[in-house]
Structure 1
Amino acid sequence: MDWYPDADEDLLLRTSARFAGGQAAAVAGCRWFRDPQRNDIQGELPGWPPGPVHTPRTTGDRAARRTGRALAFGIPLIANLVANIGGAAGSPFGSGPTTGKPEERENEVDDFPVMWAAPDTLARTVPWQLDPDRRPEGYTTDLVLTSRRLLFLGTRTGTLDKADVLAEYPRVSLAHARRMRFSEVEADVKVTFADGSWIRLFTGNPDSAERLAEILDGTVDALPESDLTPGQRDRVTRFLADLPAGTRPPTFTRLASGIVLVEARVPLKAGQDLHETHSILMGPSGEPAKPQPGDL
């Protein structure tokens, strides 16, 4: 693996992450960096290289983009129908390129900020490499959540180099997270810092967005691997042996009934930053388990 947690912390989640892109017609593919007065602040962010200046799309632009999206997603949509997965959890394409309904019209339809930050707030310190319009070609970014911090890592596609630690934040600096369903494959998440600033990220899979929000908000019992029983560890080893190279380290969640949900995220060749989730449920000794009422 290209990055390991310190001895005094446990890995809880690792997923791809980049700034999200607008989905509504007027803001499709766009992103803005705002202060609370909706001023564009990207020129104020220290160390950031120049990036494109987006403008809301005209009616003609919207029509052209709709045609382009239909062509781009035609094959995956047909594949989903044939496979009878049409938007099931873990499907890399969901029910189409855009799913869900707008929850914040001012931030999803009329405008699309991916950074909301007053001067001297933490959101202004996130790495510029999260912006797909700025980062080098072949460079990807991941979000890592441990028992004591959140980190952003950068890696170069096709290399075995150690990951770049681009930024890190103690858990106490994070207020909460919320999955935003009006997004590409419903995989956006809004991460809010304790100072009220926030960022909106695309995580590549709806399961990743949901799990990040649940862990940060304390609504699930995330387990470190060290808490597993010997039988459970053996079952996880066999589970991972069946998955392809490049699979992200698994995450573990204790459900209400006490059984453990194991999830592993596999990068997809269908598109950069996309991945699918493979999962199993296991009992105390690693035996297969079925969800009970209230588990899922």
Structure 2
Amino acid sequence: MDWYPAPDETTLVRTPIRFATGYAHPVLGSRWFRDTERRDIQAELPGWPAGPEYTLHSRTTQQVDKVAGGFLSGVVTAVQLAVEAVVGGNSAGKGDGPSRATPQDPPNESEDFPVLWAAPGTLARTVPWQLDPARRPERYRVDAVVTERRLLLLGVGGDMTAPAEVLWESARDVIAEARPLPFSDGGHDLRLTFTDGSWVRLATGDATKLVGFLTDRRRPVPAAGLTPGQQDRLARFRTELPADAEDPQVFQLPSGVFLVEAKVPAKRGKGLYETHTILMGEAGEPARPQPGDL
């Protein structure tokens, strides 16, 4: 899965990503690809293989789904709480935002569930079909990579020694808006809206964090750019971390506060991490985040 940025750019985040899946009972397990007239356009997308055809669940099916979904939701919630406890509570869907129990956009979340909304010739029509879990091969995933100037989608196959394939990329400035969507399974959905008005609805492990990078809430700061006081605090932070921690990363938030973040492999599950963080000011002193920082 090796992929490396250009010598003059930095990888800010890399995370698995896919098209989202319907969460409300009428659209449960479904996804559609629409133009601005709400027509299905998946057959028009160049190079896309055939995929499943979805229909809204009938009232009878919805009642069955509601019973099964209620039980499953309880299981998912329990698992989600356990994961949040392991990773330090950084999952999306928490806090004082809208509840994920209520659709925020019924025409696109419970009455229909488009994951691609695009007029002819717009950018959303160019995203790769491998984002669709129903189309891509088994043991294949897509990773989103954000650098300070690009968003890339990489294809990763079953052979972990093979290079990742660049499926799609665009400059950051074509993304007009990136925002998390609370009404989703686990709060993992986000919407990327491009400057031409087209958009895609995607799902990832930490939608809020990915959105934060895409909206420039976190500006990476090299260690050489820190003040002596900040470098001293960073050195002390390193001594406080477990031996298997990844090297800390430093970011400046919109208010000017500095966030230092280090990932530590969790003992409770492979691929899970605890995130250790501190906030500091210009001299390395403790600081508080301000509205809009996190």
Q: Specify if TM > 0.5.
A: yes
2-structure distance, mates of 1:210, 1:75: 23
Partner of residue 47, structure 2 = 47
1:63 match: secondary structure = helix
Report matched runs for 1:1-296 at 5 Å.
2-78=2-78, 89-91=89-91, 99-157=100-158, 159-205=160-206, 209-218=207-216, 220-223=217-220, 225=222, 229=226, 232=234, 235=237, 239=241, 241-242=243-244, 252-255=250-253, 256=255, 258-262=257-261, 264=263, 278-281=275-278, 283=280, 289=286, 291-292=288-289, 294=291, 296=294
Q: How many residues align?
A: 283
- What is the rounded CA distance, in whole Å, between the counterparts of 1:182 and 1:38 in structure 2? 21
Q: Which amino acid aligns with 2:112?
A: D
The whole-number CA distance in structure 2 between the counterparts of 1:183 and 1:42 is 23
Residue by residue, what CA displacement relative to the aligned partner does 1:92-135 show, whole Å, maximum 9, x if unpaired? 9979xx92532211111111100011111110110111000011
Cα deviations by residue, 1:48-103 (Å, 9 ceiling, x for unpaired): 11100111111222233234334445445446678995x984359979xx925322
Q: Secondary structure at the match of 2:61?
A: helix
Deviation of the 1:263 alpha carbon: 5.8
User: Percent identity of the aligned residues?
Assistant: 37
Q: 1:77 to 1:148 in 2, by over 3 A?
A: closer
- Indicate if the aligned counterparts of 1:14 and 1:142 stay in contact, CA closer than 8 A: yes
Residues 55, 291 of structure 1: alpha-carbon distance in 2 compared, 3 angstrom cutoff: same
The aligned amino acid for 2:198 is S
Q: Which amino acid aligns with 1:217?
A: T
Shifted more, 108-117 versus 277-286: the winner is: 277-286
Contact kept? 2:93, 2:100, Cα under 8 Å: no
How does the TM-score come out when normalised to structure 2? 0.79
- Report the residue type matching 2:211 in the other structure: A
Q: Bigger shift: 65-74 or 195-204?
A: 65-74
Task: Tell me, in whole angstroms, the C-alpha distance in 1 between the residues paired with 2:167 and 2:145.
Answer: 11
- Judged with a 3 Å threshold, the aligned counterparts in structure 2 of structure 1 residues 82 and 200 are, in CA distance, closer, same or farther, namely closer
For each residue in 1:204-260, what CA deviation from the matched residue of structure 2 results, as whole angstroms up to 9, or x when unmatched? 22xxx2233333334x232155666566489569858535xxx8x976432335232
Q: In terms of Rg, which structure is larger?
A: 2
Q: Which runs of 5+ in 1 are unaligned?
A: none
TM-aligned CA deviation for residue 278 of structure 1? 1.9
Decide whether the 8 Å contact of 2:257 with 2:288 is kept in 1.
no
CA distance in 2, matches of 1:200, 1:237: 41
Partner Cα separation in structure 2 for residue 66 and residue 50 of structure 1? 29
Q: Which deviations, in whole Å up to 9, do the C-alpha atoms of 1:161-189 show, x marking residues without a partner?
A: 22111110012222121111111111211
- TM-aligned CA distance change 1:226 to 1:290, over 3 Å: closer
Question: In the aligned structure 2, how far is the partner of 1:4 from the partner of 1:166?
Answer: 14
CA distance in 2, matches of 1:21, 1:119: 23
Any conservation in 1 of the 2:154–2:165 contact (CA below 8 Å)?
Answer: yes
- Residues 240 and 72 (structure 1), Cα distance of their counterparts in 2 relative to 1, 3 Å cut: farther
Return the alpha-carbon distance in structure 2 between the equivalents of residues 106 and 130 of structure 1: 23
Which letter maps to 1:30? S
